[in-house]
Amino acid sequence: MFDLFPEKGQTDLHIKYDAASGLKAIVAIDSTHLGPALGGCRFIEYDSTELAIADAVRLAQGMTYKAALANVPQGGGKAVIIKSPNTTNREAIFNAFGEFVEELNGRYITAIDCGTSAADMDIVKYHTQHATSTTTSGDPSPYTATGVFSGIQSAVRFKLGRKELTDVHVAIQGLGKVGSRLASMLYKAGAQLTVTDIDEKKCQAVAADTGANVITPSDIYSLPCDVFTPCGLGAVINDTTLKQLKCQIVAGSANNQLAKACHGNILHEKNILYAPDFIINAGGLIYASLNHNGQNTQSIFKRTCQIGKTLDEVFSRAKFNNQATVDVAIELAEKKLLH
Ligand code: NAD
């Protein structure tokens, strides 16, 4: 099992089984160096417990980098609740999970992620203060979209030498909470949009609002465009899609866009500028952290707009050193963690 842990650092793993509710939860804490670990809680099905642990560990490490580069006072952590195909007692599961988070004594702060909602976090919050993204603390997605917008502006300035997004062709994959908001922001900035989602209704709604061209999910990778913006699932940059991409920039909100670490280097070799996901999608974390620490929405918004500046630095260093942007970003994050 220890093969699942990163080569560097110290990760601790907490596992809880509660027979009464059926809760099977894993919390991975990758770092508390800069503050309590903060990261979402996934509630999805896994093919094996080992895969669930691997997911929690990998995502927790990503949160450490994300928090370090976003300059928020948090470490990296993540929770996974293994969902069974016949789960019916959701409330009992989140009650038990809240007790579990409380037992961790503030080393881990939980939030929403795939398969969890603000209503679930309300249940968790009943048992512990160490929970955010409840119905009262609000949805972080608008901040994530704002950060991605700022990141796309940075990438377009750097790669295409264009100060404005007017007529820049952006292809958005996934029109959920982040992708649909981002589409609207890009439309207002004058970008030309092509969009896709496995949910046809979401495509039609965004097309009606923005005049976007709609294509099928399988056609998005080979579409000639300036910016490919993954806002659906992870691992969309992989051995198959790398052969298809005809974009100049990859910049989107999805977590873990690179299926393998080496895919960042292949993007670099192909001269495609990659905005590392754990920098560009940090708006949600910035919101969750600063909101949890009592800051107002205006200052949170201002901090989110600085994501582009962090990317400016990463892009410049990567060019200067002829390195993949993701490698530069990891180096910068690790430097911050040394202090
Ligand atoms: P969401 O679930 O609201 O939306 C995802 C959308 O992607 C859905 O509409 C879904 O139908 C679509 N989709 C799934 N597979 C697809 C495919 N193969 N092709 C096209 N569309 C597909 O999620 P969200 O909150 O909008 O988040 C989007 C991504 O950004 C996720 O990877 C998430 O982990 C990441 N992220 C989100 C936030 C946030 O604040 N919401 C923060 C950081 C990272």
Class of CATH domain 141-338: alpha beta
pLDDT at 1: 80
pLDDT at 242: 98
pLDDT band of 46, cuts 50, 70, 90: very high
pLDDT at 263: 98
pLDDT at 139: 84
- The mean pLDDT value for 193-208 works out to 98
Whether the CB of 128 sits within 6 Å of ligand 1: no
Bridge partners, residue 77, by sequence: 29
Ligand 1 center–CA 40 separation, angstroms: 14
**pLDDT of residue 213 exceeding 90:** yes
Q: What are phi and psi of 310, to 5 degrees?
A: -60, -40
**pLDDT of residue 13 exceeding 80:** yes
pLDDT band of 138, cuts 50, 70, 90: confident
What amino acid positions are annotated as catalytic residues?
78
pLDDT tens for 61-89 read 999 999 999 999 999 999 999 999 988 89
Whether the CB of 1 sits within 6 Å of ligand 1: no
Q: Closest residue (by CA) to atom 40 of ligand 1?
A: 141
Q: Closest residue (by CA) to atom 15 of ligand 1?
A: 232
**pLDDT of residue 8 exceeding 80:** no
pLDDT at 136: 93
Report the C-alpha gap between 283 and 142 in whole angstroms: 8
Mean pLDDT of the residues in the chain: 95
Whether the CB of 284 sits within 6 Å of ligand 1: yes
Report the C-alpha gap between 116 and 281 in whole angstroms: 18
Buried b (16+ CB within 10 A) or exposed e, 63-101: bbbbbbbbebebbbbbbbbbbeeeeeebebbbbbbbbbb
Class of CATH domain 2-64+74-125: alpha beta
> Identity (one letter) of the amino acid at 246?
K
pLDDT tens for 290-304 read 998 999 999 999 999
- The mean pLDDT value for 22-32 works out to 96
Q: Between these two residues, 6 and 273, which has the higher pLDDT value?
A: 273
- In the chain, ranges of CATH 3.40.50.10860 domains: 2-64+74-125
The pairing of beta strand 23-31 with beta strand 12-18: antiparallel
Ligand 1 center–CA 178 separation, angstroms: 7
Picking from 5-9, 47-51, 205-209, 212-216, which range would have the lowest pLDDT averaged per residue? 5-9
- In the chain, ranges of CATH 3.40.50.720 domains: 141-338
pLDDT band of 27, cuts 50, 70, 90: very high
pLDDT band of 43, cuts 50, 70, 90: very high
Ligand 1 center–CA 254 separation, angstroms: 6
pLDDT at 233: 85
Ligand 1 center–CA 177 separation, angstroms: 7
Ligand 1 center–CA 338 separation, angstroms: 33
Angle at which helices 90-103 and 118-125 cross, to 10°: 50
Whether the CB of 175 sits within 6 Å of ligand 1: yes
Whether the CB of 36 sits within 6 Å of ligand 1: no
Tokens of 267: 């993007």
pLDDT band of 339, cuts 50, 70, 90: confident
pLDDT at 9: 73
Whether the CB of 202 sits within 6 Å of ligand 1: yes
